[in-house]
Structure 1
Amino acid sequence: MTRAGRAGRGTAAEAVRRGGRRAGRRVAAGAGAALVGAAWCVVAPAGAARATETPPPYAFADDARTVAGTPSSTGSRTLTPGTTYRSAIAHPGAGGTTTLYYRLELGAEDNVHASVTALPTPGSRVGFADGIRVAVEDANGFDCDAGSARFGAARSPRPLTASALRTVGTDDSRCAAAGTYYVVVERTAASGASAAARSEKPSTPEEWDLELYVTSEPAVAERRATTPPAEQDAPTPAPPAGPARPREGGSGFSTAEALGRGVWGDRVAPGQTRYYRVPVDWGQRLTATVELGGARGAGGPGGAGGRAGGREYVTSALVVSVFNPARMPVQDMDTAYDGSQKSTTLPSLVPVAYENRYAPIDRIATVRFAGWYYLAVTLHPDVGARFGRGPVGLTLRVGVTGERRAGPKYAGTARPADAFGVTGREESAARDGAAGTPGPTGVAAPGRSESAAMKVLAAAGIGTGTALLAVLGVWTLVGRRRAAGRRVSA
């Protein structure tokens, strides 16, 4: 794909503007719906909520700023490192590509990472080749770095995350100068012919929401080796044993539940993605085994399965992905599911080291700084069609091994602050369970139930209070009438 072709392609500017306005309206409408829903959740019996439980949508960061991408670098909006953004990208049409630009104004010292998570609507249809590509380009259209993600054989409408970066190392001198750079997001769709060759229907022609996360890692105070450590692959240790302690995963990076060493239990619904985060310090390595419980139920024909030995199964039913603190994809695995319990063990990560970034292999190069490492666990929606639509038990056996080592001394401050390191607060959050990313001072967010209550009070304000008083007033009136009725009967 040539730069000229990409510049001449894309969607019309007005269509993008309309898409941006629609995204803004959805944010406003969602806030209103959340306000009403919050009032109901306060007064509704717990059983009523569970009876109609459906996989929640992706949870954007509370402080995410809405920004519209542009089909050309001209007039593109500026992204600031340390900030999370919400955007949207239109469907490109069969065999096409939609391209959006965002601007970065960078100095000559910091390494900047741009991560983009694309969010198809739950229940929508996606194809094997549908996906996104993210690049950081200089002012002359040169790719400093690029990454991509696609749905592949799973064809499950799950969140897709890809990333690209601008580094100032010796091998990246062309992108080391201060100046204007661009984050370029491309969405691709398979052509009708290629989809037909795989016996799949075209993807749903809808726009996808995007979450963009930009981080900045400062330069080191003193020069370090530019040779990656010798490959340190080691046999994956036996996973932790023992009873699982309950932890409820989040619905996005921003609400990921903190986990430490140990065995953790949760439930995941068909079509749902659960997010968790684990603090991994310099010199340490992460291991994880994910077990899916048995789910025998009345099934039906699904779109991504088959039959083996007379038993139904869903291919790529469970997808487990690992991301580093900048949300760069590290590795992922998937496994089939036939309704009986399954287990998948991720290969042990290499120990966290600054010099890993110089390795030519992504699964090593991405383990380049300490901090929160994320686990995303997705259950294919076809599991519900074949084995029952209720949530399935999930067990996570998490290990963090290796001795801590001293990390690099940075010459500046990361954005967001404390993004690349592990403190006692992170360790405490992992032990006690806390959802959400650390705040500006590095203090972990409250636990899930406490956080939800705070959000209801903060977001609802007088409006929700009025709604609650109205509901209580109705209950009081009904109670009085019933009491009066009993007195008359007596």
Structure 2
Amino acid sequence: MVGVVAGAVALASGTYAPQALAAGEPAPYTFAEDARPVKGASTTSDAQRLDAGAVYKDAVPKDGKLIYRVDLDAASHAYVSVVAVPPKGARLSFQDELDVALQDRDGADCGTTTLRFGSAEFARPVAGYVDRTLDQDRTLCQEAGSYYVVVERDGKESSSEEPWGLELRHVREPGLKAAGPTEAPENWPSASPQPPAGGPRERAGGAGFADAPGLSEGEWTDRIEPGQSRFYRVPVDWGQQLFVSADLGSSAGDGFVGGALPVSLYNPALGLVESDDSMSYDGKQKSQTFDPLPPVAYENRFSSSTETSALRFAGWYYLRVSLSPKVGEKFGRKPYGLTLRVNVEGEPKPAPPYAGPAGIFAVTEDDREAAAEGQSGAAAGDTGTMGLVAAGGIGTGTVLLGGIGLWTVLARRRADGAAGAAGGSVPPSQDASSGFGPPQGRGW
């Protein structure tokens, strides 16, 4: 009853209010600090707009349907991501899912995705996006105008009644100045690299995408509790390959837990690249490794493989690692050792000839520094904010005037933050135009 009342309050306020947690118990998810409350409508006529470059939060009830509006131009690719956050301890079934669709004014689907929990049936954040991709060979969903994001939660009788929190983002990717190849590369290195050198280093993961710390190439150790999810991010440039493995340390006790450590990889727009929940844990140390993924390339978007298609742009790639609460039931409620091994292979290649600023779809020297220092997007100052604004594709005059004002405000905030930080440093902001280069050797 308490959960239902809390859910009703959350829905009435248009924000997600998680269940009360015991002292010291980790929160299921940390929403972006600048997330704007929004209330999904029941009809397209009442749908509130999601601005490009902004983050929003809402909540969806069991068997609920929410509708939002996005205004798209005819020159940019568009992505709307949804992070679904069931309350900690919520009951889930294998069939629980969140369906997301991007539709035009005639109700035709431009893009769809379904967020599921797989065989590891426990509450944890899951994410995915729907997109409108410009294609000169298509007529559907290519025009400028209003489009609608439809979010539907399908819950089963055995599932908890509490609403799920939602975090929504709308970002745009500029089109190209000139058309390039339209086929994904077929030949790429598929051999796993040698383990990263240098020995293990400690790095505490975040509780959401917004506070995920950066990881550079290397071996990283952390602690994770049963029922907890940890988030990390890695900058991957054009032409580079990302290799990731996750190890769960040994523990005393007897038992067996299937789907013990679900691991998911997301691209810069929070589209799912790969997910694996196959680890079975019996108290002995276990390792989980993604199959080799292709290098990041613009042309990957033309692949029929969903994993390859998601590796369509450079930028921050996010890793979510969750530990099943059943591990705590079998082996004790305590922190468990977690080791991540990260390899980023290949020299960066020139970016595609974007017709505008790449925004979040680029890797800068500031990003590499943030990864080495373990900074999250929030800790790195305005890097993510300006990247999202640049990717928003707003009109030139508005960008010029609004951008100057925003730079001024952010500069003052950074200065104030630097003055108040003891021994800390504030890295320079991300240059939204950096990471661009002439289309050398890419067939553009």
Alignment of 1:313-328 (within 5 A): 313-328=256-271
**1:104 aligned residue (70, 87, 90):** 70
**2:239 aligned residue (267, 283, 287):** 283
Root mean square deviation of aligned Cα: 2.6
Distance, in Å, in 2 between the alignment partners of 1:25 and 1:313 is 34
Distance, in Å, in 2 between the alignment partners of 1:429 and 1:421 is 14
Equivalent residue number for residue 95 of structure 1: none
Distance, in Å, in 2 between the alignment partners of 1:134 and 1:231 is 33
Quick one: which amino acid aligns to residue 440 of structure 1?
A: T
Distance, in Å, in 2 between the alignment partners of 1:432 and 1:113 is 29
Alignment of 1:24-423 (within 5 A): 24=15, 26=17, 53-92=24-63, 98-190=64-156, 192=157, 202-232=158-188, 234-297=190-253, 312-334=255-277, 335-414=279-358, 418-423=359-364
Equivalent residue number for residue 436 of structure 2: none
CA contact (8 A) 2:15 2:37 kept: yes
Quick one: which amino acid aligns to residue 276 of structure 2?
A: M
Quick one: which amino acid aligns to residue 79 of structure 1?
A: L
Give the unaligned 5+ runs of structure 1: 1-15, 34-50, 93-97, 193-201, 298-310, 455-490
Residue 374 of structure 1: how far off its partner (Å): 0.5
Q: Identity rate of aligned residues, in percent?
A: 42
Residue 207 of structure 1: how far off its partner (Å): 0.6
Residue 121 of structure 1: how far off its partner (Å): 0.6
Change (3 A) 1:355 1:166: same
Give the unaligned 5+ runs of structure 2: 1-6, 388-406, 422-444
Residue 120 of structure 1: how far off its partner (Å): 0.5
Residue 171 of structure 1: how far off its partner (Å): 4.5
Residue 413 of structure 1: how far off its partner (Å): 3.1
Q: Does 1:426 align with 2:344?
A: no
Q: TM-score, normalised by structure 1?
A: 0.74
Runs of 4+ in 1 over 6 A off after TM superposition: 443-446
How many aligned residue pairs are there? Answer: 384
- 1:130-156 Cα distance to aligned partner (Å, 9 max, x none): 011111111111111111121222111
Distance, in Å, in 2 between the alignment partners of 1:52 and 1:339 is 27
Residue 172 of structure 1: how far off its partner (Å): 3.8
Distance, in Å, in 2 between the alignment partners of 1:387 and 1:144 is 46
Q: Give secondary structure in 1 for the equivalent of 2:261.
A: strand
Change (3 A) 1:69 1:262: same
Residue 338 of structure 1: how far off its partner (Å): 1.1
Distance, in Å, in 2 between the alignment partners of 1:313 and 1:382 is 9
CA contact (8 A) 1:250 1:276 kept: yes
Equivalent residue number for residue 11 of structure 2: 20
Residue 17 of structure 1: how far off its partner (Å): 9.2
Quick one: which amino acid aligns to residue 123 of structure 2?
A: P
Distance, in Å, in 2 between the alignment partners of 1:385 and 1:128 is 20
Q: Give secondary structure in 2 for the equivalent of 1:105.
A: strand
Distance, in Å, in 1 between the alignment partners of 2:177 and 2:134 is 14
Distance, in Å, in 1 between the alignment partners of 2:100 and 2:320 is 20
Residue 116 of structure 1: how far off its partner (Å): 0.4
Q: Give secondary structure in 2 for the equivalent of 1:404.
A: coil
Change (3 A) 1:172 1:101: farther
Residue 242 of structure 1: how far off its partner (Å): 4.6
Q: TM-score, normalised by structure 2?
A: 0.81
Distance, in Å, in 1 between the alignment partners of 2:98 and 2:385 is 30
User: Greater CA radius of gyration, 1 or 2?
Assistant: 1
Distance, in Å, in 1 between the alignment partners of 2:77 and 2:160 is 37
Q: Give secondary structure in 2 for the equivalent of 1:240.
A: coil
- 1:69-90 Cα distance to aligned partner (Å, 9 max, x none): 0122121000111111001101
Quick one: which amino acid aligns to residue 59 of structure 1?
A: T
Q: Give secondary structure in 2 for the equivalent of 1:174.
A: coil
Change (3 A) 1:25 1:69: closer
Distance, in Å, in 2 between the alignment partners of 1:137 and 1:167 is 13
